[in-house]
């Protein structure tokens, strides 16, 4: 049997933060999605929807599907929104908002290792990417969805443990 060794990028030191979003409602999570650089996925009672944007003002924020239509917030039972524009903070690698109906919402962020990480947990991270559905050969960079994989050290034996993956890329298709 041939050996296979994937060419994974090395793990790098970083910091991960997490905090609750307001009162735990979908509206509270959506109010955190300020600016224009948000994409995501909404799991709804009529199926999963790839999201190309968040628009509107606080209190009446709406989700836009990749085909341009609005997603009815009353049908959403789980939401993941990630920032595709982290240029304001050079240490910020990934930022994601999550909401689960009945459980609440959380803000997650992964930063490069810096000395001034307050209220953050040390972690290891690496960049990752996936080929998106509907991509045709020859594949282009825009056919991939990028992410940051997050690992921590297990305290007793020092093993590295995968804990999360925060998406960072843009959807490359419509519909």
Phi, psi angle pair for 88, to nearest 5°:
-70, -25
Cα 146 to Cα 86: distance, rounded to the nearest angstrom:
13
Q: pLDDT confidence of 150, banded at 50, 70, 90?
A: very high
Encode pLDDT of 50-87 as tens digits: 998 888 766 677 898 888 899 999 999 999 999 987 77
Residues 103-116 have a mean pLDDT of 88
pTM for this entry: 0.85
Cα–Cα distances (Å) from 102 to 23, 28, 47, 111, 139, in that order, read 11, 13, 19, 29, 40
pLDDT for residue 175 is more than 50: no
Which pLDDT does position 1 carry in this prediction? Answer: 47
Encode pLDDT of 2-39 as tens digits: 565 577 889 999 999 999 998 999 999 998 987 778 99
Task: Write down the domain spans for the chain.
Answer: 12-34+84-167
Cα–Cα distances (Å) from 117 to 15, 65, 76, 83, 111, in that order, read 7, 35, 34, 20, 8
Percentage of the chain exceeding pLDDT 90: 50
Which pLDDT does position 141 carry in this prediction? Answer: 62
Long-range CB pairs of 31-35 (<8 Å, 24+ gap) are 31/58, 31/59, 31/61, 32/97, 32/105, 32/107, 33/61, 33/81, 33/97, 35/83, 35/85
Encode pLDDT of 81-105 as tens digits: 999 877 777 889 999 999 999 999 9
Cα 44 to Cα 143: distance, rounded to the nearest angstrom:
25
Region of poorest pLDDT, from 118-122, 134-138, 163-167:
134-138
Cα 144 to Cα 121: distance, rounded to the nearest angstrom:
29
Which pLDDT does position 2 carry in this prediction? Answer: 53
User: What residues contact 64, with CB distance under 8 A and at least 6 apart?
Assistant: 51, 52, 53, 54, 55, 70, 71
Other Cβ atoms within 10 Å of 154 Cβ, number = 10
Structural element, H or E, at residue 31: helix 26-32
**Which stretches of 97-154 are DSSP H helices?**
none
């Amino acid at each position: 049997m041939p050996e296979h060794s994937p060419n994974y990028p090395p793990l790098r030191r970083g910091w991960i933060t997490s905090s609750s979003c307001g009162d735990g409602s979908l509206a509270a999570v959506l109010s955190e999605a300020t600016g224009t650089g948000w994409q995501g996925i909404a799991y709804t009672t009529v199926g999963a929807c790839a999201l190309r944007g968040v628009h509107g003002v606080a209190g009446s924020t709406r989700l836009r599907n990749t085909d341009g239509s609005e997603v009815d917030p009353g049908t959403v039972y789980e939401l993941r929104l990630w920032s595709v524009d982290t240029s304001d903070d050079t240490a910020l690698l990934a930022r994601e908002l999550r909401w689960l109906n009945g459980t609440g919402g959380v803000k997650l962020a992964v930063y490069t290792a810096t000395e001034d990480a307050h209220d953050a947990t040390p972690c290891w991270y690496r960049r990752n990417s996936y080929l998106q559905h509907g991509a045709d050969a020859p594949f282009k960079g825009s056919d991939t969805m990028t992410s940051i994989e997050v690992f921590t050290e297990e305290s007793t034996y020092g093993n590295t443990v995968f804990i999360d993956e925060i998406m960072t890329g843009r959807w490359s298709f419509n519909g």
